[in-house]
Structure formats: C-alpha cells, structure tokens
C-alpha cells in the first residue's frame, strides 16, 4: 500500500530527551535540522535556550520562518567545583515559562539533561511537587550522568524570587501551580 | 513564616514514574493513597489500568468520590518466553485513549514500566514518532529493566487495527496524530 509507505517515510523525529513537561511546555536536547518537521507540528510560540553560545544560523532561520520567539538565558553547565548556576537566570527563565503568551514553548540546552533538568526541577517546586518526585524526574532525564550538585541547587532554590518577576495576568492555569504567595 | 511551612506540608506526591504523555494524558505506576491529593488536582475524567487483578477498594472509592470513570484492559506482564501481550487489548485501550470524552486520563499498570510502556509506544506510532524516539522513551521509563520483547511488540504492532475502533468524532486534536488512514 502506497499510503502505508508514505506514513513510514514521514516519521517524525523528536529531539533526544524530548518530553512534555506541562500543558504547552516541552523540553529536549539541542534541536537539529532533522527535528524541525516534528517541532513545526507543535506550533511553538517560543524557544527558551539555556546555552551560552550564539544560536546556530540554521536554527535561527527555523525560528524566523515559523515566527517563533527566541528567549536566551545563557548559563554554563554546573560542573563542580568551578561553576555555579546563577539563580537570577533561572528565575528569569521561570518567569518566561509562567507567561502564557510564550506558549507553546520548547526549553532546551545541549543534552537536555543538566541545565534543563535544573530549570524543570525548580519549576516543579512551583508546582508543589515533593522532592522525591522532583529528583526522580531529574535523574530520569540526566541518566547516566546525574549530578548531586544539580539536585542540591534545586533543593536550595528559593521560589519566592520567581514570583516577584511573574506577570500574574498571564499565568497559565496549571492544576498544581496554585496561587503566588501574598 | 507560617505560610512557607504550610506549602511544605502540602507537597504533592505524584505516583512514581509519573509523566505527561500528551495533552490530557498522563502515565504512572500504581497510585496509592498518598498520591490521591496530587491526582485530584489533575481533574481526571478516567483512569485506564492495565493490571489483571481486581482494583483495590481504596482506589475504587477515590474514583467514585471524584466521578472518575474506570477503564480496565487487564493484561499480564510480557515476561518471555511465556506470555504475550494481546494486541486486541492494546488496540481497545488505544481507542479509549483517543476519545476526548475520557480526558484528562491517567494510564497505569504496576510499575508504569512495561505494560504502560508498550501502550505508550504504540500510541507514539499513531503520532508518527520515529522508532529511535519511541524506544528511547520506552527505555527511559522502564530503566533499568527494559525488555527487548516489549520493544519488538511495539515495532510489530499494526496501528491499522486501532483506527477501526476509533470514534472519529471524538478524537483529540494532537498536533502529530494526523488523520486516520482512509
């Protein structure tokens, strides 16, 4: 059957470590050209990257062609004992995530393991997840290279600094997000 | 601060291996009482279980209290070389997943690894994912007990038998699902 074959040829390739995090929020490793047809289907409004480097021209072109907003909160990997994740970058990134106008959004770094994992871990704190569940998810996506420094960062991260940056009018209606503290 | 302490006490505990699979579709291991407050937040319309056994009274009560529909497609684990996953059960479960009237839905078996992994793998075929991505996801959630029999089941599963059971009127609008074959 010609139809069947066509379906196979058209297989969509999500970037490695791709996952749906919450309504309209996705995470992954660095997307390459072969992933663009998949990403196009998601109807993204924004891409939030945590890499420090300039964004490749090919990716930038994809964003422009699809009218996708580019948000860069560049941070270095949390490789002990030299580098620390800057809390203010994570807070700013979280405020961007909590703005419905940026949805659907793809979040990525290079491998989608550590920087993305830290950011999602902090987001889960805002969603009131228990630490067991937060670390379980962190390790699932960073395996086999989980870092205890990252988990410590998540544990110590104070979510109050995020709420100061959030535009309450445009917050998503996620079931476990709850109201910002008064 | 009393407020802060309260937030900690109220931490929500998702079941192990919990994940958002697609819009309004969640997967997890067997939910226990401590997970009910988290699950309540999801506003579930249905729970689809793949276990063979009777559902525990405590879980049944939770479903009744929250007016959650109970869908059971009981299958035995795919432990080689004795047991095979019945294709017709998986097809019927997929048809239930592809019915918006059952959303939001939680899918679970015991560990949320193998039976759930097979079902989600077959669902990804309907969403036109490449096998690399399908198996990558299967292994992420079945780690460290991935089974090649399960992956073979996913590969050999013929999605056409699902479309015959799907009520086209109530299909979800997932971006990569596409139209049923004619």
Gyration radius of chain B's alpha carbons: 17
Q: Are B71 and B102 contacting, i.e. CB atoms less than 8 angstroms apart?
A: yes
Could you count the other beta carbons within 10 Å of the beta carbon of residue A57?
Answer: 8
Quick one: pLDDT at residue B177?
84
Instruction: Specify the residue for token string 């689809």.
Output: B48
Phi, psi of B69 (to 5 degrees): -70, 140
Contacts of B66 in chain A (CB under 8 A): none
Positive/negative CA dihedral, A14, A75, A52, A105: positive
Q: Average pLDDT of B6-30? A: 87
Q: Are B144 and B66 contacting, i.e. CB atoms less than 8 angstroms apart?
A: no
Dihedral, CA atoms, A58, B175, A21, B42, nearest 10 degrees? 170
Select the residue from B20, B157, B173 to test the A interface by mutation, using most A Cβ atoms within 10 A: B20
What are the tens digits of pLDDT across the range A161-179?
A: 999 999 999 999 998 887 6
Q: What is the 3-state secondary structure (H, E, C) of B124-166?
A: HHHCCECHHHHHHHHHHHHCCCCCHHHHHHHHHCCCHHHHCCC
Q: Given strand B69-72, what is the order of strands in its sheet?
A: A69-72, A46-49, A105-108, A25-28, A19-22, B19-22, B25-28, B105-108, B46-49, B69-72
Q: Do A128 and B14 touch (CB under 8 A)?
A: no
Quick one: pLDDT at residue A76?
85
What are the tens digits of pLDDT across the range B104-152?
A: 999 999 999 999 999 999 999 999 999 999 999 999 999 999 999 999 9
Q: Chain B within 8 Å of A179 (Cβ-Cβ)?
A: no
At the topology level, CATH places domain B12-166 in 3.90.190
Q: Report the alpha-carbon distance of residue B63 to residue B81 in Å, rounded.
A: 35
Question: Taking Cα atoms as reference points, which of B69, B88, B95 lies closest to residue B169?
Answer: B95
Domain A12-168 falls under CATH 3.90.190.10: yes
pLDDT band at A3 (very low <50, low <70, confident <90, very high): very low
Contacts of B3 in chain A (CB under 8 A): 181-182
Question: Taking Cα atoms as reference points, which of A116, A96, A95, A102 lies closest to residue A21?
Answer: A116
Comparing CB atoms, the residue among A20, A129, A130 nearest residue B21 is A20
Q: What is the DSSP letter of A56?
A: P
Each domain of chain A, given as residue ranges in start order, spans 12-168
What are the tens digits of pLDDT across the range A23-63?
A: 999 999 999 999 999 999 999 999 999 999 999 999 999 99
Quick one: pLDDT at residue B81?
53
Q: Report the alpha-carbon distance of residue A35 to residue A11 in Å, rounded.
A: 10
Beta bridge partners of B106: B26, B47
pLDDT band at A78 (very low <50, low <70, confident <90, very high): low
DSSP codes, B21-71: EETTEEEES---GGGHHHHHHTT-SEEEE--SSPPPHHHHHHHHHTT-EEE
> B55 burial class (0-12, 13-18, 19+ CB within 10 angstroms)?
middle
Q: Report the alpha-carbon distance of residue B24 to residue B43 in Å, rounded.
A: 10
Comparing CB atoms, the residue among B12, B16, B182 nearest residue A136 is B16
Q: Please confirm, yes or no, whether B109 is among the known catalytic residues.
A: yes
What are the tens digits of pLDDT across the range B60-115?
A: 999 999 999 999 999 986 666 556 889 999 999 999 999 999 999 999 999 999 99
Mean of pLDDT over chain A: 91
Quick one: pLDDT at residue A177?
84
Question: Which residue of the set B109, B118, B134, B154 is catalytic?
Answer: B109
Q: What is the token pair recorded at B51? A: 């276990």
Q: What is the token pair recorded at B105? A: 């839905």
> What is the complex's ipTM, to 2 decimals?
0.89
Dihedral, CA atoms, A30, A70, B134, B161, nearest 10 degrees? -160
Which pairs from A33-37 meet CB under 8 Å and 24+ separation? A33/A58, A36/A62, A37/A12, A37/A13
Rounded to 5°, angle at Cα A140 from A136 and A141:
125
């Amino acid at each position: 059957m010609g139809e069947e074959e066509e379906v196979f040829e058209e297989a969509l390739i999500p970037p490695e470590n791709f996952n749906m995090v919450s309504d309209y929020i996705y995470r992954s490793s660095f997307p390459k050209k072969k992933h663009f047809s998949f990403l196009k289907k998601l109807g993204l409004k924004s891409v939030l990257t945590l890499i420090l480097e300039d964004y490749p021209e090919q990716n930038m072109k994809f964003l422009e062609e699809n009218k996708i907003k580019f948000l860069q909160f560049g941070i270095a990997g949390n490789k002990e004992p030299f580098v620390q994740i800057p809390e203010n970058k994570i807070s700013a990134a979280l405020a961007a995530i909590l703005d419905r106008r940026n949805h659907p959004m793809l979040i990525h770094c290079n491998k989608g393991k550590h920087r993305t994992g830290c950011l999602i871990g902090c987001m889960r704190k805002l969603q009131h997840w228990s630490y067991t569940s937060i670390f379980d998810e962190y390790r699932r996506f960073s395996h086999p290279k989980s870092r205890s420094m990252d988990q410590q960062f998540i544990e110590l991260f104070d979510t109050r600094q995020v709420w100061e940056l959030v535009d309450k009018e445009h917050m998503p209606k996620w079931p476990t997000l709850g109201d910002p503290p008064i």
